Structure 1
């Protein structure tokens, strides 16, 4: 019965005009954040007052995080929200404790860590959406469209988001076999290491699949813009580059894949927030995992790599550029 009521609420949230704060781990110019903010706004903005605060932890060095957290905490004091929606692991780890101490209910999404990394996931004022890359589904999909598909390089930044996602699915292993394909998993925050892995991938792999790459820095510790990094990778790669996230697919970026959608994650989180704003206790709402992936492909990328989809997959896919 509880799950039935949850399903009904998710489809038809009610509104009572309250104050919502969205706290981003990253920044609003980052497409992931822009997509989920758009989704949350589509559900809540008409009837609620929304404030958006950026922690900016992908661009700011870790040494500056405490100052930024203090700034956000002060803003929360002024705003006095009825609920907080936290996007991704850093926002949760840096802000959830302060919020629940204030008795502010928390809805999270984009969080890859579990209770071991984030004990407050079990707090009665907390619920949300655990983000889980579709590792198995992605490999199974790519085996259908790519020949050969024996070995894949899974390439990610060495961020808390990616470490948590990989560890939950693969444990400590950095090599694995899924659906008959061999995966080598590389996590690094070094620009040269990341790019060289792409440039030399053809020597050992049939394709590269990228995770997030937004904590990459060069040898001088300068932040590397993700789109510039991917453009360099695209220009010199000799095997196609796929992605676990739809935000990394486009012209001179990833070619496509079965992906997590920031918009869908934000939509689900907003609907959970609607339940709480209408009096449902957070600890009565079961935490969810990423509900559904979708096929997204770059038209220019498919042409560049001479890739064709079956009529069935093509009919189920979204296309960009």
Structure 2
């Protein structure tokens, strides 16, 4: 069945003139959302009407999430879509159950939680892609880049997305061995603590690998813009900073790594949605995990840390500058 599904994803036949709604957990200025939305438009936009809504949950305080979700649900009811694509955990948590109760098929992407956090994952009107950072593959790759250096700090915000991803892979442990490398995992939403881990990291680790850092606030409760946070981290770090996601790689950002691609997640979600639009019940479409990572690197980051990729990796890598 899985082989058959993958074959269908490659051709992704489309029927015409349907209405597709995309609900983003975050906002269009956030590169993850922009990349997957562009991919969805590429697959579905020529033949279907696509309407996108932002929940903006990385910037809005949690007290305002339900009100924003209610407004979006009313808009969706007016549109009467044939399928709704939900991006990431917050959109799924806020929107999935009301949608399926109305009989609207749901395709998700970027969801890290399982059925314990999201019971609607088991609903027959739901299918999609469970986003999973490539922890094992990333560390194996970075050991080759760093050569004989194998002490890593995995630094993430303390968001539902990161908690779910870490817990599924490592359980309750916050220290682990992966391919002989020693990992310590830190999740925090406090800007001072996050930066302190970056600044002092060289005392304990050989490198830092960042996850999402988009729910971080300062001591006064002010939101810390992710790009500004990474600019400061890059300037103050004394050891290389890599990433599990391609959206955090660039000038004065992460150096790179074996990363999850928002664009690929969006393409796959759109192809799953096309199957639903062609009459295949979501319950007949197996839920997938992130299908493939890719090597993404910043040229200036490699130069800054005097790192060199092997010819084989360089030939497969995408360079963002």
Q: TM-score, normalised by structure 2?
A: 0.98
Query: Gaps spanning 5+ residues in structure 2: where?
Result: none
Tell me the alpha carbon deviations over residues 216-275 of structure 1, each in whole angstroms, 9 at most, x when there is no partner: 001111111000000000001000000000000000000000000000000000000000
Q: What's the counterpart of residue 279 of structure 2? A: 279
Question: Retained in 2: the 8 A contact 1:16–1:278?
Answer: no
Q: Are 1:134 and 2:134 counterparts?
A: yes
How many Å separate the matches in 1 of 2:198 and 2:18? 48
In 1, distance between residues paired with 2:199 and 2:148? 19
- Equivalent residues of 1:142, 1:149 under 8 A apart: no
Q: Could you tell me whether the CA contact under 8 Å between 1:92 and 1:111 is conserved in 2? A: yes
Within a 5 Å distance, the mapping from 1:139-218 to structure 2 comes to 139-218=139-218
Q: CA deviation at 1:4?
A: 4.2
Write out per-residue CA displacement over residues 252-307 of structure 1, whole angstroms, 9 at most, x where no aligned residue: 00000000000000000000000000000000000000000000000000010011
Find the residue that maps to 2:85 and give its secondary structure.
Answer: strand
Alpha carbon RMSD of aligned pairs, Å? 0.8
Instruction: Tell me, yes or no, if structure 1 residue 84 matches structure 2 residue 84.
Output: yes
Task: Provide Cα deviations, 1:45-73, integer angstroms capped at 9, x if missing partner.
Answer: 00000000000000000011111111111
SS of 2:42 mapped into structure 1: helix
SS in 2 for 1:124: coil
Consecutive unaligned residues in structure 1, runs of 5 or more: none
* Alignment partner, residue 94 of structure 2: 94
Displacement of 1:176: 0.5
* Structure 1 SS opposite 2:279: coil
Cα-to-partner distance string for 1:1-28 (whole Å, 9 max, x where unaligned): x334422321112222100000000001
Quote the residue 2:11 is aligned against. 12
Q: Does the Cα contact within 8 Å between 1:133 and 1:165 map onto a contact in 2?
A: yes
Q: Return the alpha-carbon distance in structure 1 between the equivalents of residues 298 and 197 of structure 2.
A: 22
1:76-125 Cα distance to aligned partner (Å, 9 max, x none) = 11111110000000000000011001100000010001111111100000
| Structure 2 partner of 1:265 | 265
Q: TM-score, length-normalised on structure 1?
A: 0.98
Query: In the alignment, what sits opposite 1:320?
Result: 320
SS at match of 1:200: helix
Show CA shifts across 1:118-161 (max 9, x none): 11100000000000000000000011110342210000000000
The corresponding residue for 1:3 is: 2
